[in-house]
Amino acid sequence: MAWQVVIAGGGFGGFYAARALERMLPAQSAHVTLVNSANFLLYTPLLPGAAGATLDPRHVVVPLRAELRRTDVVIGSVSGADPSRAVLGVDRIDGDRVELAYDQLIIALGSVSRTLPVPGLAEHGVGLKSLSDATALRNQVLTCFDIAESLEDPAERAEYLGFVFVGAGYAGVEGLAELQDFAVQAIELYPRCRAQGMRWVLVDAAERIMGEVPPSLSRFAEHELCGRGIEVRTSTTLAEAGARSARLSDGETIAARTLVWTAGVKPSPVVARLGLPLDEGGRVVVDSTMAVIGAPGPGREWAIGDCAAVPDSARPGLACPPTAQHAIRQGRLVARNVVASLAGRSGRPFRYRTKGVVAELGRNKAVAITLGIRWRGLPAWLIARTYHLLLMPGVGRRLRLLVDWNVALVFGRDASSPGRLGSTTPLGHEDQRNGSLAATHAAPPAV
């Protein structure tokens, strides 16, 4: 009888675990099932590019079925688990609720935005974590311009031309830099908006932006953003969010209808329903081999990526940071450890020291560290793009990135707002046809 290996989550950790298992486990001895809420792996480091319209949103994902030929891909939502019976509960896309029995379970369910109890944030803030977030933000910029262009009152117009990002880690900085770069090009098509000018503000509670990189690179990134007219407010927090403004802890109220929250992540809430021990941050507690500590059996559970507290060999006493770099390597190693466990051998501990960081700043600039060497400006940007090209699975997908990037370099970024692209129009409601701005944004955008 074949072993049942189930992977919950098909992001960086789950995908690379499945790929490695396909290579290591003979088909007749094990059956690998991967459950994911979408039929693709989202390549998050390229999300800012999708928001900033240098990349087609479809080109920042990897279709799971195209890359995983021997894995049974189940599209659905993991709803819970019962480790004492070794079953994972799944609400499948067809509406059926099923239980998947496992001998080995790899939990790789990732993270969600970590919000704080700031008044108005839940109602008026948006995240930058999903493909729809990225597409919606890009559309939001254009919709704001379209509305602002039609307004007579400059004060009212200013609300639509104000954009506030809270959280200046690499995701927030890259997202803001790419989106602002896109907006700078797009606003040329809106004479009134261009004459009035936009306001972009980056807010962070820390003393400097991009705490992940050394101070010299952080200073370069801040200098670069400020040079483009972006206001960087460090040691500042968001005090209150409204539909038309954001109030900061220094007392200033910024007129803005777009508030983007990129201030950190927390483990996917579903891991709390798996019946496994969690740490105080809500991550699954694992040992250095990524095996869940204190699970009852009879199956064997493992946890990796953003939802797991994998001990960090580079920083004793701490868990690994939530990065794709770590999730990918944990995915590959957990696959080896699953194979070892099935063969009755013990697993290897996870040891990894971050080899580098790359963060694009738009305008062909970036900051990067590779093997201890610090890069900035154009060389860093070339390193960042080469790195993503090499990491993107599949030749076809790499070519798509290359084409998108080069088209955007030569012809600029596309400034159309495809509205509700992806949803159908009910027959008899042609006034709500796909992409119609009037239908999509009859009321001012909520964010």
Residues that bind ligand FAD (CB under 6 A): 9-14, 35-38, 44-45, 47-48, 77-78, 108-110, 128-129, 170-171, 175, 268, 270, 305-307, 322-325, 327
What are the structure tokens assigned to 388, written together?
A: 């993503």
Q: How far is the CB of 405 from ligand FAD (least distance, A)?
A: 16
Q: How many CB atoms lie within 10 A of CB 263?
A: 26
Q: How far is the CB of 78 from ligand FAD (least distance, A)?
A: 4
Of the two residues 78 and 186, which places its CB atom closer to ligand FAD in the complex?
78
Q: How far is the CB of 411 from ligand FAD (least distance, A)?
A: 25
- 211: which residues sit within 8 A by CB, 6+ positions away? 169, 218
Nearest Cα to Cα of residue 19 among 58, 56, 73: 73
Of the two residues 234 and 325, which places its CB atom closer to ligand FAD in the complex?
325
- 444: which residues sit within 8 A by CB, 6+ positions away? 147, 160, 257
Q: How far is the CB of 384 from ligand FAD (least distance, A)?
A: 8
Of the two residues 94 and 153, which places its CB atom closer to ligand FAD in the complex?
94
Burial of 9 (0-12, 13-18, 19+ CB in 10 A): buried
Of the two residues 129 and 441, which places its CB atom closer to ligand FAD in the complex?
129
Residue nearest to ligand FAD (CB): 11
CA 216 to chain centre: 26
Q: How far is the CB of 169 from ligand FAD (least distance, A)?
A: 9
Of the two residues 110 and 299, which places its CB atom closer to ligand FAD in the complex?
110
Q: Nearest 10 degrees: CA dihedral of 321, 327, 331, 333? A: -40
**Residue 408: C-alpha distances to residues 36, 181, 290, 362, 384 (Å):** 32, 12, 42, 12, 17
Single-letter residue type at 357: V
Residues in the chain: 447
Of the two residues 146 and 212, which places its CB atom closer to ligand FAD in the complex?
212
Q: In this structure, are residues 30 and 5 in contact, taking their beta carbons and an 8 Å threshold?
A: yes
Q: How far is the CB of 205 from ligand FAD (least distance, A)?
A: 19
Of the two residues 156 and 212, which places its CB atom closer to ligand FAD in the complex?
212
What are the structure tokens assigned to 51, written together?
A: 């928001």
What are the structure tokens assigned to 284, written together?
A: 């699954």
Single-letter residue type at 102: Y
Q: How far is the CB of 16 from ligand FAD (least distance, A)?
A: 8
Q: How far is the CB of 248 from ligand FAD (least distance, A)?
A: 23
Q: How far is the CB of 87 from ligand FAD (least distance, A)?
A: 15
At residue 89, φ and ψ (nearest 5 deg) are: -90, 135
| Helices assigned H by DSSP within 267-426 | 324-342, 378-391, 395-411
* Cα 120 from Cα 48, distance rounded (Å): 25
* Cα 169 from Cα 314, distance rounded (Å): 20
Of the two residues 129 and 376, which places its CB atom closer to ligand FAD in the complex?
129
Of the two residues 372 and 428, which places its CB atom closer to ligand FAD in the complex?
372
- 242: which residues sit within 8 A by CB, 6+ positions away? 120, 124
* Cα 33 from Cα 76, distance rounded (Å): 12
Paired sense of beta strands 3-8 and 104-107, if any: parallel
Of the two residues 290 and 327, which places its CB atom closer to ligand FAD in the complex?
327
Of the two residues 10 and 52, which places its CB atom closer to ligand FAD in the complex?
10
Q: In this structure, are residues 42 and 81 in contact, taking their beta carbons and an 8 Å threshold?
A: no
Q: How far is the CB of 272 from ligand FAD (least distance, A)?
A: 11
Q: How large is the C-alpha radius of gyration of the chain?
A: 23
Q: How far is the CB of 84 from ligand FAD (least distance, A)?
A: 21
